[in-house]
Structure 1
Amino acid sequence: MAFDISRRFMLTGAVGASVACAAACTTGPAAVAEAAFPASAPSVDPQILGPRDGVALLSRNENPYGPAPSALKMIEYAGKKGAYYPDIAGQKLAAMIAERHGVTPDMIAITTGSGEALSAIALIYGKKGPIVAPRLFWDTTALYAVNLGLAEIDRVALGSDMSTDLAAIEARVTAGTGLVQLCNPNNPTGLVADPVALKAAVERMSKLATVLVDEAYMELADDPEGNTCIGLIKEGHNVIVSRTFSKIYGMAGIRVGYTISSPETAAKIQSTSMSWISGVGLAAAIGSYDDTAFLDFSKGKIVEGRQMVVTTLDALDLEYLPSQTNFVYFKSGKEANDVQKAMKERKISIRGQYMDYNEWTRVSMGTIEDVEKFCKALPEVIGA
């Protein structure tokens, strides 16, 4: 039976998509080629992707339990269709995202990871004026525009508790501001802003400048629905929210992200991005977007690992910030880069120093075994 992509591919959810792709994987031109040229396993270094053998990779905020089985099934299907540009897959994913959040599909921009969207936004708005942001935030994409000479970042000091100082940021925003960029939960601190204060500040600031809220880790927060700023977009405010499949969905290497904004802003972001998103990535995202069983499993493992780290830090009487993400930002009492180096010698990868916070460093949640390895090494590394 021929695979009717217009009907089958639009089935909602991971189960429908996976069932539909199963038939497709055994038919079509790719199957003919496979029969004509029997596959032989290429000689590939198994270490070209992921952590090297024996290395606890706890530096990139990945979910090592992904991609979900529902995503892997769709990846198998998409591989068979790799000869073709993805036509309606992006539309399908946008429709799924829009339905969940109560917006229209034209308010969704699908990009190659949220990083592409954030880079595009920095380029678009950075030319209009400074990007106002907290001193610590995920600044890689903003720096992309800075390095091209198209933007500058106006960093605002954190609060005494290392939270984003919303009042201080708001005081810095003027009609000449190009963009306000926030990260909630923040990276590398892991802190979630007070939702009432955040939404009120974002609403006020959006009257003067576009406000971008990077919510890459929102699915990991204790109350994602209560903390998101998507509601402000639905009310018509000049706000952009970005999300990614790289974190809770465990697809950092597959590269799919998206933004939610006004239709006009979404079109602007999409026009500044690459014309085609990976069909494999889109298929994986469609397959796993509604896979609540996998998401719940992943969140449970992350919380378990985070509690192991917190218990270790408490036992060592080390200061840390209360995280609602898949990483913990802590103060070791040693130079962060020295701690990072000592961990590397033990085949454990963590982050080093951020900005001028020389004794603070970040450890990500990996597999439970890798987190346990970090917890056992930390007392020795800091000389406790």
Structure 2
Amino acid sequence: MTAAVSRRTLFGIGGGATLALASAPARALAPPPPPPADPFAPPEGVAFLARNENPYGPSPRAKQAVADLCGSGCYYASGGEDRLAAMIAEANGLTPDHVLIGAGSSEVLNCATMGLTGGGHILSADLTFDPPVRYAEAKGVAVKRVPLAPDMQVDLAAMQAAVGPDTRLVHICNPNNPTGLLLPNAALRSFAAAVSPKAIVLVDEAYNELTADPAGESLVDRVRAGDNLIVARTFSKIYGLAGMRVGYALARPDIIARMRPWSMSVGGNTGGLAAAIATYPDAAFLGYSKGRILEAREMIEAAAKSAGLPTLKSATNFVYVKVPDAAAVQKRLEAKGILIRGPYGKWTQWSRVSCGKIEDVARYAAALPEAARA
């Protein structure tokens, strides 16, 4: 009886509620909330030419892989890290034990500057991509910096002469950042052959894929030969994954084993590794990206030439432009919504401009003559 009453009571309430809803005045449905603002991309209307990013990535394959595999974000990503390491090893004629994956090449560079320098010092050029060197220096590692040659190139002869019994690591960025200059391959090979028996040579090849002959300009073959040498690469540049933080080092397994304990990652991140695995063999996307980057680079060089401003010959996705006052140029362009890098230390007449979207580079080209006035 109680159950029957409860049922009748329930249905009675349900029917009354339905009638009440039917007799209530109609209300418009609330509009859907606007999509969240993108905290990662440059603000609307800003030409962002300051960070050497590839705005044409991630590739369609990378985006699809992230979408397909985001449900696995609850798991630590060591399986993906192992798969990517195996792919990279196979492509370079090495074993997975020759490969260290990191959060961007910055992490593996930090592993080298911290893990391979005990009781000695790092040798580096005094204008280069040196955050990993400065990181180690802040942790107490000694650093010796060698001035550039008069042509702004890394001075290999001076660096070789500076190698001493306490030199543990020799840091070379090739092509160099911020100058964009590529070292002559024969000279770099001769340098590495002379120096690597005395100290580990670390070659940061972040921009290698943007050179005219990536395989010919790399020293990966010397890793295969077992030299005392590390090659570092990144997915941040031509692959367009700067914010997804994937990079790697190639070296003898015993060197990798000394670097690995300094890694801060726990198996990497699912999204970045999924994107890297999908885009690593994507020759079509890499060709497209390189074509757009080279087009933008030629536009920057042509704009500088038209304005009477010298540039260094770049082999990267940025151009180093000589101007009367780099800080003033940066400020004037910023007022027009165009962001470039300011001066680097004592190099106050040199301005680094990244190869961003073609339309943004066109804005820079149009604004440069006025911005660069003395």
| TM-score, length-scaled by structure 1 | 0.87
Alignment of 1:38-187 (within 5 A): 45-148=36-139, 150-187=140-177
C-alpha deviations, 1:344-364, integer Å up to 9, x for none? Answer: 111111111112111101000
Counterpart selection for 2:336 from 340, 343, 346: 346
Q: Which has the larger radius of gyration?
A: 2
Offset of residue 121 of structure 1: 1.2
- Give the whole-Å Cα distance in 2 for the aligned partners of 1:222 and 1:212: 22
Offset of residue 44 of structure 1: 5.9
Which residue identity lines up with residue 121 of structure 1 in the other structure? A
Counterpart selection for 2:292 from 292, 301, 306: 301
- Give the whole-Å Cα distance in 2 for the aligned partners of 1:314 and 1:179: 39
Whether contact under 8 Å (1:119, 1:141) holds in the other structure is: yes
- Give the whole-Å Cα distance in 2 for the aligned partners of 1:42 and 1:110: 39
- Give the whole-Å Cα distance in 2 for the aligned partners of 1:136 and 1:229: 21
Counterpart selection for 2:279 from 278, 288, 293: 288
C-alpha deviations, 1:204-261, integer Å up to 9, x for none? Answer: 1111111100000000011111110111111111100000000000000000000000
Q: Which region of structure 1 is more displaced relative to structure 2, 226-235 or 291-300? A: 226-235
Partner residue, 2:365:
375
Are positions 1:263 and 2:253 aligned together? yes
Q: Secondary structure at the match of 2:244?
A: coil
Which residue identity lines up with residue 142 of structure 1 in the other structure? V
Q: Secondary structure at the match of 1:319?
A: coil
Which residue identity lines up with residue 155 of structure 2 in the other structure? D
- Give the whole-Å Cα distance in 2 for the aligned partners of 1:205 and 1:217: 23
Offset of residue 78 of structure 1: 2.1
Whether contact under 8 Å (1:47, 1:53) holds in the other structure is: no
Report how many aligned residue pairs link the two structures. Answer: 343
Partner residue, 1:328:
319
- Give the whole-Å Cα distance in 2 for the aligned partners of 1:42 and 1:295: 37
Q: Secondary structure at the match of 1:253?
A: helix
Partner residue, 1:220:
210
- Give the whole-Å Cα distance in 1 for the aligned partners of 2:135 and 2:216: 31
Counterpart selection for 1:253 from 230, 243, 252: 243
Whether contact under 8 Å (1:332, 1:382) holds in the other structure is: yes
- Give the whole-Å Cα distance in 1 for the aligned partners of 2:373 and 2:333: 13
Alignment of 1:313-324 (within 5 A): 313-324=304-315
Which residue identity lines up with residue 182 of structure 1 in the other structure? I
C-alpha deviations, 1:52-96, integer Å up to 9, x for none? Answer: 111111010000000000101110122111111124211111111
Are positions 1:189 and 2:179 aligned together? yes
**Aligned Cα RMSD in Å?**
1.5
- Give the whole-Å Cα distance in 1 for the aligned partners of 2:118 and 2:369: 47
- Give the whole-Å Cα distance in 2 for the aligned partners of 1:358 and 1:347: 22
Which residue identity lines up with residue 111 of structure 2 in the other structure? A
Are positions 1:243 and 2:239 aligned together? no
Whether contact under 8 Å (1:111, 1:270) holds in the other structure is: no
- Give the whole-Å Cα distance in 1 for the aligned partners of 2:320 and 2:102: 29
- Give the whole-Å Cα distance in 2 for the aligned partners of 1:99 and 1:156: 36
- Give the whole-Å Cα distance in 1 for the aligned partners of 2:288 and 2:61: 14
Q: Which region of structure 1 is more displaced relative to structure 2, 318-327 or 72-81? A: 72-81
Offset of residue 42 of structure 1: 7.6
Which residue identity lines up with residue 128 of structure 1 in the other structure? G
- Give the whole-Å Cα distance in 2 for the aligned partners of 1:304 and 1:176: 45
Q: Secondary structure at the match of 1:248?
A: coil
Partner residue, 1:234:
224
Q: Secondary structure at the match of 1:146?
A: helix
Offset of residue 330 of structure 1: 1.0
Q: Secondary structure at the match of 2:128?
A: coil
Q: Which region of structure 1 is more displaced relative to structure 2, 212-221 or 130-139? A: 130-139
Whether contact under 8 Å (1:136, 1:158) holds in the other structure is: yes
- Give the whole-Å Cα distance in 1 for the aligned partners of 2:197 and 2:142: 21
- Give the whole-Å Cα distance in 1 for the aligned partners of 2:75 and 2:95: 27
Are positions 1:312 and 2:310 aligned together? no
| TM-score, length-scaled by structure 2 | 0.89
Whether contact under 8 Å (1:203, 1:232) holds in the other structure is: no
Offset of residue 383 of structure 1: 2.4
